[in-house]
Amino acid sequence: MNLIWLVVGVVLLYLGGEGLVRGAVAIGRRFEVSPIVIGLTIVSVGTSSPELSATLAGVFQGAPAISFGNVVGSNVANLGLVLGLTALIWPLDVAARFIRREIPFMLGVSAAMFLLIRDDSIGRIEGTILLLGLVLYLRSLFTDKEGPEVEAEFERAYGEGQKSVWGAVLAVAVGIALLVIGAHVLIKGAVGLARSLGVSERVIGLTMVAFGTSLPELASSVAAAIRHEGDLVLGNLIGSNIFNILFILGTTAVIRPIPVESATVWVDLVVMMGVSILTWLLLRSGHRLARIEGSLLLASYLAYLIYLFV
């Protein structure tokens, strides 16, 4: 039954995230928001909404290890699993200037995690600082402009499939409802599964829960890779990693402080930082993420899974 709850929760989170993204994008296009801003804000927030729902549910249901592990595990999965698998499907050409700007920002935010957990908790003050960082990040997105080729790429992805405002609002409302229900069911199944298998809640959060909440990123990235839109893939994944830390941890910590066992999760943060640096180095070597480089990212993720379970 725990496994069934886990699967049902993942499905509900996926459907909820999809509904929220589609509805929010339609609303943004209705009010003529730039497609780049939509891609790096609305879509990143929408695809991160399962992580937010699961993280909040974990904290309120007394499973903070799952909550924190979900955020860290999702960031590792986004780059190691999703980006690696996407590059295997189709090598990614990356030419946008904003990618080179976003990656250093992601590295800085990831490094800040080591400071956040120094006292074994992420409190309301730290959460407020993270949310202020999110405001600064959003401000930079709204003020900087990209070239016409990148605008066209985002327009192709998010300028189609218009719907009425009321239909979009309904999609957002249904998506949020599915996210709330799915998160509750997912955490219920994850905690029960961890206890029945004798696996720590931290490992369940870093693997099963993180994989389930990363499904929207995986789906949208594979679709963008098939359309040969490398900037869109990187923008979605890197934006999602930034939002996972600034928005999800920040919001959750402000609502309720998150207890963290720093001695235990330190190695997970090192892995998250290592995969982030590896991604940066691979992209710095050229404006293309080839299949061999995607294989390297995927291998690093699989090695991390083996470490966690063995």
Binning the chain into helix, strand and coil, the percentages to the nearest 5 are 85, 5, 15
Question: Residue 153: what pLDDT?
Answer: 58
* Under 8 Å between Cβ of 191 and 66: yes
* Under 8 Å between Cβ of 155 and 35: yes
Residue of 11 and 105 predicted with greater confidence: 105
The alpha carbon torsion through 60, 45, 246, 137 (nearest 10 deg) reads: -160
Q: What is the pTM of this model?
A: 0.80
Residue 236 CB: number of other CB atoms within 10 A? 27
* Under 8 Å between Cβ of 209 and 66: yes
pLDDT tens-place string over residues 78-94: 999 999 988 888 888 77
Q: Which amino acid is at 78?
A: N
Q: How far apart are CA 68 and CA 88, in angstroms?
A: 29
Give the pair of three-digit tokens for residue 96: 């946008």
Residue 15 CB: number of other CB atoms within 10 A? 17
Percent with pLDDT over 70 in the chain: 82
Question: What is the torsional sign of CA 104, 78, 120, 259?
Answer: positive
pLDDT-derived band of residue 193, with 50, 70 and 90 as boundaries?
confident
What mean pLDDT, rounded, does the chain reach? 80
Question: Residue 154: what pLDDT?
Answer: 60
DSSP SS3 for 101: helix
Would you kindly state where each structural domain of the chain is located, as residue ranges? Answer: 2-309
User: How far is residue 154 CA from its own chain's centroid?
Assistant: 19
Question: Residue 155: what pLDDT?
Answer: 61
DSSP SS3 for 119: coil
Question: Residue 177: what pLDDT?
Answer: 81
DSSP SS3 for 164: coil
Nearest to 78 by CA among 254, 251, 248, 194: 248
pLDDT-derived band of residue 156, with 50, 70 and 90 as boundaries?
low
Give the pair of three-digit tokens for residue 47: 């695809």
> What b/e string do you get for 256-291 counting C-beta neighbours within 10 Å, with b at 16 or more?
ebbebeeeebeebbebbbbbbebbbebbeeeeebee
**What is the phi/psi pair of residue 226, to 5°?**
-65, -30
Among 65-79, 81-95, 164-178, 269-283, name the one with the lowest average pLDDT: 164-178
Q: Is the pLDDT of residue 159 over 80?
A: no
Give the pair of three-digit tokens for residue 252: 């959750």
Q: Which amino acid is at 84?
A: G
What is the homologous superfamily of the domain 2-309 according to CATH? NCX, central ion-binding region (1.20.1420.30)
